[in-house]
A and B are shown apart, each in its own frame.
Chain A
Amino acid sequence: MRNRVKDLRAERAWTQADLAQRVGVSRQAINAIETGKFDPSLPVAFRLARLFDQRIEELFFDDQ
Protein backbone atom coordinates (compact mmCIF):
# COMPACT_ATOMS: atom_id res chain seq x y z
CA MET A 1 0.00 0.00 0.00
CA ARG A 2 1.36 3.40 -0.98
CA ASN A 3 0.97 6.49 1.19
CA ARG A 4 1.78 10.21 1.50
CA VAL A 5 3.13 10.06 5.03
CA LYS A 6 6.67 11.04 4.06
CA ASP A 7 5.51 14.06 2.01
CA LEU A 8 3.16 15.33 4.70
CA ARG A 9 5.82 14.87 7.36
CA ALA A 10 8.36 16.74 5.22
CA GLU A 11 5.89 19.62 4.73
CA ARG A 12 5.82 20.06 8.49
CA ALA A 13 9.62 19.66 8.80
CA TRP A 14 9.16 16.84 11.29
CA THR A 15 11.71 14.08 11.71
CA GLN A 16 10.59 10.47 11.76
CA ALA A 17 11.20 10.50 15.50
CA ASP A 18 8.92 13.58 15.88
CA LEU A 19 6.12 11.87 14.00
CA ALA A 20 6.66 8.63 15.90
CA GLN A 21 6.28 10.46 19.19
CA ARG A 22 3.09 12.17 18.05
CA VAL A 23 1.53 8.93 16.81
CA GLY A 24 2.80 6.73 19.64
CA VAL A 25 4.83 4.23 17.65
CA SER A 26 8.54 3.60 17.16
CA ARG A 27 10.68 5.53 14.66
CA GLN A 28 11.32 2.25 12.84
CA ALA A 29 7.56 1.83 12.42
CA ILE A 30 7.31 5.26 10.76
CA ASN A 31 10.25 4.43 8.50
CA ALA A 32 8.69 1.10 7.49
CA ILE A 33 5.31 2.76 6.82
CA GLU A 34 6.90 5.49 4.69
CA THR A 35 8.87 2.99 2.61
CA GLY A 36 5.79 0.80 2.14
CA LYS A 37 7.35 -2.16 3.92
CA PHE A 38 4.70 -2.19 6.62
CA ASP A 39 1.00 -1.36 6.51
CA PRO A 40 -0.21 0.13 9.80
CA SER A 41 -3.27 -1.07 11.68
CA LEU A 42 -6.48 0.94 11.39
CA PRO A 43 -6.00 2.71 14.75
CA VAL A 44 -2.52 3.91 13.71
CA ALA A 45 -3.78 4.87 10.24
CA PHE A 46 -6.58 6.90 11.85
CA ARG A 47 -4.10 8.61 14.21
CA LEU A 48 -1.90 9.53 11.22
CA ALA A 49 -4.88 10.81 9.23
CA ARG A 50 -6.13 12.89 12.16
CA LEU A 51 -2.65 14.30 12.78
CA PHE A 52 -2.26 15.37 9.14
CA ASP A 53 -5.89 16.51 8.94
CA GLN A 54 -6.57 14.15 6.04
CA ARG A 55 -9.04 11.40 5.35
CA ILE A 56 -7.56 7.91 5.40
CA GLU A 57 -8.18 7.42 1.68
CA GLU A 58 -6.27 10.64 1.02
CA LEU A 59 -3.33 9.33 2.99
CA PHE A 60 -3.20 5.67 1.92
CA PHE A 61 -3.75 4.26 -1.55
CA ASP A 62 -4.45 0.74 -2.65
CA ASP A 63 -1.82 -0.52 -5.10
CA GLN A 64 -4.42 -2.27 -7.24
Chain B
Amino acid sequence: MQARDETGAYRVSIKTAVRLVLWTFAWAATLALAKFGPGLLWDSRQPVASWVAVAVNLAVGIGWIVAFARFLRAQDEFQRKIIQDALTVALGVGWVGGFAYVVADAADLVAYDVDVAVFPALLGVVYMITILVGRLRYR
Protein backbone atom coordinates (compact mmCIF):
# COMPACT_ATOMS: atom_id res chain seq x y z
CA MET B 1 0.00 0.00 0.00
CA GLN B 2 2.99 2.27 0.22
CA ALA B 3 4.61 1.96 -3.17
CA ARG B 4 5.06 5.47 -4.43
CA ASP B 5 6.99 7.40 -7.01
CA GLU B 6 6.54 10.35 -9.29
CA THR B 7 4.46 8.27 -11.69
CA GLY B 8 1.54 8.18 -9.25
CA ALA B 9 2.01 4.53 -8.23
CA TYR B 10 1.19 5.51 -4.63
CA ARG B 11 -2.19 6.89 -5.65
CA VAL B 12 -2.94 3.79 -7.72
CA SER B 13 -1.95 1.62 -4.76
CA ILE B 14 -4.26 3.50 -2.38
CA LYS B 15 -7.10 3.43 -4.90
CA THR B 16 -6.86 -0.34 -5.38
CA ALA B 17 -6.73 -0.86 -1.59
CA VAL B 18 -9.87 1.24 -1.07
CA ARG B 19 -11.64 -0.63 -3.87
CA LEU B 20 -10.66 -3.95 -2.32
CA VAL B 21 -12.11 -2.86 1.04
CA LEU B 22 -15.35 -1.76 -0.64
CA TRP B 23 -15.62 -5.05 -2.57
CA THR B 24 -14.96 -6.96 0.67
CA PHE B 25 -17.80 -5.16 2.45
CA ALA B 26 -20.08 -5.66 -0.57
CA TRP B 27 -19.30 -9.38 -0.67
CA ALA B 28 -19.89 -9.74 3.09
CA ALA B 29 -23.21 -7.89 2.74
CA THR B 30 -24.40 -10.13 -0.11
CA LEU B 31 -23.27 -13.20 1.85
CA ALA B 32 -25.34 -12.05 4.83
CA LEU B 33 -28.28 -11.41 2.51
CA ALA B 34 -28.04 -14.93 1.04
CA LYS B 35 -27.69 -16.46 4.51
CA PHE B 36 -30.30 -14.51 6.48
CA GLY B 37 -32.60 -13.30 3.68
CA PRO B 38 -34.66 -16.50 3.48
CA GLY B 39 -37.07 -16.28 6.38
CA LEU B 40 -36.10 -12.75 7.41
CA LEU B 41 -36.62 -10.74 4.23
CA TRP B 42 -38.59 -13.15 2.10
CA ASP B 43 -40.45 -16.40 2.57
CA SER B 44 -37.95 -19.24 2.78
CA ARG B 45 -40.25 -21.26 0.49
CA GLN B 46 -39.44 -18.77 -2.29
CA PRO B 47 -36.44 -20.48 -3.95
CA VAL B 48 -36.24 -17.90 -6.74
CA ALA B 49 -35.39 -15.08 -4.32
CA SER B 50 -32.84 -17.30 -2.55
CA TRP B 51 -31.23 -18.28 -5.87
CA VAL B 52 -31.02 -14.63 -6.89
CA ALA B 53 -29.32 -13.79 -3.57
CA VAL B 54 -26.79 -16.60 -4.09
CA ALA B 55 -26.16 -15.51 -7.68
CA VAL B 56 -25.59 -11.91 -6.57
CA ASN B 57 -23.19 -13.15 -3.90
CA LEU B 58 -21.26 -15.16 -6.50
CA ALA B 59 -21.15 -12.21 -8.93
CA VAL B 60 -19.88 -9.84 -6.23
CA GLY B 61 -17.39 -12.54 -5.18
CA ILE B 62 -15.96 -12.57 -8.70
CA GLY B 63 -15.67 -8.78 -8.48
CA TRP B 64 -13.81 -9.21 -5.18
CA ILE B 65 -11.34 -11.63 -6.81
CA VAL B 66 -10.66 -9.15 -9.62
CA ALA B 67 -10.22 -6.33 -7.07
CA PHE B 68 -7.75 -8.46 -5.08
CA ALA B 69 -5.75 -9.26 -8.24
CA ARG B 70 -5.60 -5.54 -9.10
CA PHE B 71 -4.60 -4.72 -5.51
CA LEU B 72 -1.76 -7.26 -5.74
CA ARG B 73 -0.53 -5.84 -9.04
CA ALA B 74 -0.43 -2.34 -7.54
CA GLN B 75 1.89 -3.41 -4.71
CA ASP B 76 5.66 -3.22 -4.94
CA GLU B 77 7.60 -6.49 -5.08
CA PHE B 78 8.35 -6.50 -1.34
CA GLN B 79 4.71 -6.00 -0.32
CA ARG B 80 3.77 -8.77 -2.75
CA LYS B 81 6.29 -11.04 -1.05
CA ILE B 82 4.63 -10.43 2.35
CA ILE B 83 1.19 -11.12 0.85
CA GLN B 84 2.50 -14.22 -0.95
CA ASP B 85 3.94 -15.56 2.32
CA ALA B 86 0.61 -14.95 4.06
CA LEU B 87 -1.35 -16.66 1.27
CA THR B 88 1.04 -19.62 1.41
CA VAL B 89 0.55 -20.06 5.16
CA ALA B 90 -3.23 -19.62 4.89
CA LEU B 91 -3.45 -22.15 2.05
CA GLY B 92 -1.19 -24.57 3.92
CA VAL B 93 -3.20 -24.31 7.13
CA GLY B 94 -6.44 -24.74 5.19
CA TRP B 95 -5.15 -27.69 3.17
CA VAL B 96 -3.47 -29.57 6.01
CA GLY B 97 -6.05 -28.66 8.66
CA GLY B 98 -8.96 -29.35 6.33
CA PHE B 99 -7.79 -32.81 5.32
CA ALA B 100 -6.80 -33.66 8.90
CA TYR B 101 -10.37 -32.82 9.93
CA VAL B 102 -11.81 -34.90 7.05
CA VAL B 103 -9.83 -38.03 8.00
CA ALA B 104 -10.45 -37.51 11.73
CA ASP B 105 -14.17 -37.14 11.03
CA ALA B 106 -14.17 -40.24 8.78
CA ALA B 107 -12.52 -42.23 11.58
CA ASP B 108 -15.22 -41.05 14.01
CA LEU B 109 -12.63 -39.22 16.08
CA VAL B 110 -14.56 -35.95 16.02
CA ALA B 111 -17.60 -35.94 18.28
CA TYR B 112 -19.20 -32.79 16.86
CA ASP B 113 -19.77 -31.32 13.39
CA VAL B 114 -17.89 -28.15 12.57
CA ASP B 115 -19.85 -25.52 10.65
CA VAL B 116 -18.34 -25.26 7.15
CA ALA B 117 -18.32 -21.45 7.52
CA VAL B 118 -15.57 -21.84 10.13
CA PHE B 119 -13.17 -22.93 7.40
CA PRO B 120 -12.98 -19.71 5.31
CA ALA B 121 -13.12 -17.66 8.52
CA LEU B 122 -10.09 -19.59 9.82
CA LEU B 123 -8.24 -18.95 6.54
CA GLY B 124 -9.03 -15.24 6.84
CA VAL B 125 -7.77 -15.05 10.42
CA VAL B 126 -4.56 -16.97 9.56
CA TYR B 127 -4.01 -14.69 6.54
CA MET B 128 -4.44 -11.52 8.60
CA ILE B 129 -2.15 -12.77 11.39
CA THR B 130 0.56 -13.73 8.87
CA ILE B 131 0.31 -10.34 7.15
CA LEU B 132 0.70 -8.65 10.54
CA VAL B 133 3.71 -10.82 11.42
CA GLY B 134 5.29 -10.07 8.02
CA ARG B 135 4.85 -6.33 8.45
CA LEU B 136 6.26 -6.41 11.99
CA ARG B 137 9.21 -8.53 10.87
CA TYR B 138 10.28 -6.05 8.18
CA ARG B 139 9.22 -2.86 9.99
Residues of A within 8 A of B (CB): 20-29, 31-33, 37-38, 40-41, 44
Contact = CB atoms under 8 A, between A and B. Distances in A.
A55 B81 CA distance: 26
Contacts of A25: 3, 76-78
A62 B4 CA distance: 28
Interface of B: 1-7, 9, 76-79, 81, 135, 137-139
Given A23-B5, A24-B3, A29 B79 contact: yes
A26 B5 contact: no
DSSP majority for the A interface?
helix
A28 B138 contact: yes
Given A24-B76, A29-B76, A32-B78, A38 B138 contact: yes
A24 B7 contact: yes
Nearest to A29: B78
Given A25-B3, A37-B137, 20 more contacts: A23-B5, A24-B3, A24-B6, A25-B77, A25-B78, A26-B2, A28-B78, A28-B135, A28-B138, A28-B139, A29-B76, A29-B79, A31-B138, A31-B139, A33-B78, A38-B78, A38-B81, A40-B77, A40-B78, A41-B77
